[in-house]
Amino acid sequence: MAVLQKNRILLVHPLGYRVERSGQDVSRIANIMPPLGLASLAAYLEKENIKADIVDYFAKPFSDSTVQDYLVRERPAFVGFSCTTSSFLDGVRLAKMAKKALPGIKTVFGGPHVSALKTKSLADFPEIDFAVVGEGEQTLAELVACDGEVEETSPLPGLVYRGSEGFPSFSGYRPRGIDLDSLPFPAYEKLDGYPQAYKLPIFNYPTVPNTSCISSRGCPYACSYCDRSVFGSSFRYNSAEYLYEHLKYLNNRFHIRHINFYDDQFTFNRKRVEAFARLMIDNPLGMTFNCAVRAEHIDLDLARRMKEAGCWMISLGVETGDADLLAQHRKNPNLEMLAEKIRMIHKVPIRVKGLLMLGLPGETESSIRKSMDYVFSLPIDDINVSKFTPFPGTPLYEKAHELGTFEEDWERMDCMNFLFVPQGMTAELLEKLFIRFYRKHFMRPKMLLGYLSMIWRSPDSWKRFLSNLGGFLRFVRTDDRIAGPGKEPRAVEE
C-alpha cells in the first residue's frame, strides 16, 4: 500500500450523469457556474496548512484520468466530494474509483444531500468514510488534521463517521456558524481554466470575463420547497467592506468585469447594501453585477442606488402566478406587491428576471395558465422555469408521496425532470405546458426585440447562443432530459 500524504486532500465536484451527455445538456451549455463552495474550502484549508486541489467535472467532464493521475502522483490521504442530490451517485462512483486507484485513501462527502440524509449516506454506501454536515470549513480542516482518527468519546462536531462497530453516527451540529468576514477569498486560481471555463446564463450579463460570487449563507425564510440542511435557519453575510474588497480582488487578479451574486437574499440587510453601493459609487471598479431579492426587501430608493453602483439585473422569485397555490408554499404571498416591485425595478431601469417553478403540490393546468398570464402581463425581461423537485431536507420531501406521485431517481433530481407529479396531473401534461410556457415567452414580439437588443448589450451572449444553437433547438423540440439515460427522447407536441 502506498504511503499517503497527510494534510493533503483532493476536492472533487462530480458531474452527475454520463459524460457523453454533457454536450447535449442545455443547462450546462447555458450556464457553467464555478464550484464556489469547494473554492472556499480550498482557501480555508490552505490557510490551515492543508494542501488542497480541485477537479471540477462540470467544467471538465472527461476528468477521470485527471483524478486517477493526481491520486497516483500526489497520494493525498483524503478525497472530498461536494454533491447535490443529482450528483451524489456520480460522487459514489468516483469514490470507488479513488479507493481502487489509491488503496487506503479516505473519502469525505459534503453538500446538501448528505447534510439532509446524514447517517443514511454512510449506512447505504460503504464507499463513504465520512460525511460533513453543514458548513464544511472547520469540520473538514479538523478531520484532515487528525488524519481521520475520530475519538468516539469526543467526536468532531458536524461529522458523520463510522464507530468502532462500523455503524454510522452523527456527532451533532457545530454550535455556531463561521464568521464570513474571517474567511479568505475563495481559491479561484485552483479552478482549471478560471474564469474563461465558466459562463453565466446567456443574456444574463453585459460583459466578459464574468463570474459568480456568494456574499451570504442561509435564508431567513422557510419556504416549503427549500432545503435548509446546510445552513439551518441562520442567515449571515459579509460586510460591505469585505464584499467590495472581494470584487476588487476579482477585478485585479482575474480582470472580472461582471458578477452574479449567488445569494438567496442579497438585499435583506438594507444598510449593508447601501454601504456597498456607496463604495462602488465613490470608488468605481468598472464592474457590474446581478443579484436576487425578495420583493419585501427592495424599494425605489434602494434600486436607484444599486443601479448607480452597477446593478445590471435583479432576479425575483415569482414561483407561481396562482395566488392560492403560492399561499400554500411561501410566506407573504402577495402577487400584487410583487408585480408593483417588478414594474418599479423595470422603470429604474434594471433588467428583471422572474424565477418560477412548475409542478408544485397543488399545481393544476389552470394554475400554470395563471402563471403564464401573470408573467406575460409584467415587464419581465427573462425567466427561468424549473421543474419542482422535492429534495431531501425540504419540508415537502417527507410527504411527497401523499401529495402526488414521486419517482425518487437521484440522478434525475436536477429540476430538469418532472419526477414529482401533483395529484390530478400527468408528467406528459406538465412537460407540454412547460415547453409551451417557454415558447410563448420567447415568441412574444417585445421579448424578441429585447433579446435582439442583446446584440449590443451582451454581444458575448449572442456568440454563445449561435454557436450552441443546435443544443437549444433540441431542448425546445424534444424532451431528452426526461427520457433518461439509455432511453430514446420523446417528441413534445403542442
Mean pLDDT value across residues 453-481: 75
CA 345 distance to own-chain centroid: 25
Q: In this structure, what C-alpha cell is assigned to residue 465?
A: 447562443
Rg of the chain over Cα atoms, rounded to whole angstroms, equals 23
Q: Same topology for domains 5-170 and 199-491, yes or no?
A: no
- Please calculate the CA angle 157-160-162 and round it to the nearest 5 degrees: 120
Which pLDDT value is given to residue 382? 95
* Dist. CA 268–CA 237, nearest whole Å: 10
Residue-wise pLDDT for 128-142, tens only, equals 999 999 999 999 999
pTM for this model (two decimals): 0.92
**Residue 179: is it exposed, middle or buried by C-beta count within 10 angstroms (0-12/13-18/19+)?**
exposed
- For the cut 50, the answer to whether the pLDDT of residue 381 exceeds it is yes
* Dist. CA 114–CA 395, nearest whole Å: 16
Mean pLDDT value across residues 459-472: 82
264-288 b/e (C-beta count within 10 Å ≥ 16 → b): bbbbbbeebbbbbbebbeeeebebb
* Dist. CA 159–CA 173, nearest whole Å: 8
Which pLDDT value is given to residue 481? 37
CATH class of the domain comprising 5-170: alpha beta
Residue-wise pLDDT for 443-465, tens only, equals 999 999 999 999 999 999 999 88
Which pLDDT value is given to residue 22? 47
Residue-wise pLDDT for 257-300, tens only, equals 999 999 999 999 999 999 999 999 999 999 999 999 999 999 99
SS3 of residue 431 by DSSP: helix
Mean pLDDT rounded to a whole number for the chain: 91
Q: Where are the domains of the chain?
A: 5-170, 199-491
Please give the C-alpha separations between residue 368 and each of 21, 246, 303, 356, in angstroms, as whole numbers: 30, 41, 30, 10
Instruction: Return the number of other C-beta atoms located less than 10 Å from residue 467's C-beta.
Output: 10
pLDDT band at 491 (very low <50, low <70, confident <90, very high): very low
Architecture of 199-491 per CATH? Alpha-Beta Horseshoe (3.80)
pLDDT band at 490 (very low <50, low <70, confident <90, very high): very low
Mean pLDDT value across residues 69-73: 97
Which pLDDT value is given to residue 269? 95
- For the cut 80, the answer to whether the pLDDT of residue 469 exceeds it is no
Q: Which residues contact 284 (CB under 8 A, 6 or more apart)?
A: 310
Residue-wise pLDDT for 87-120, tens only, equals 999 999 999 999 999 999 999 999 999 999 999 9
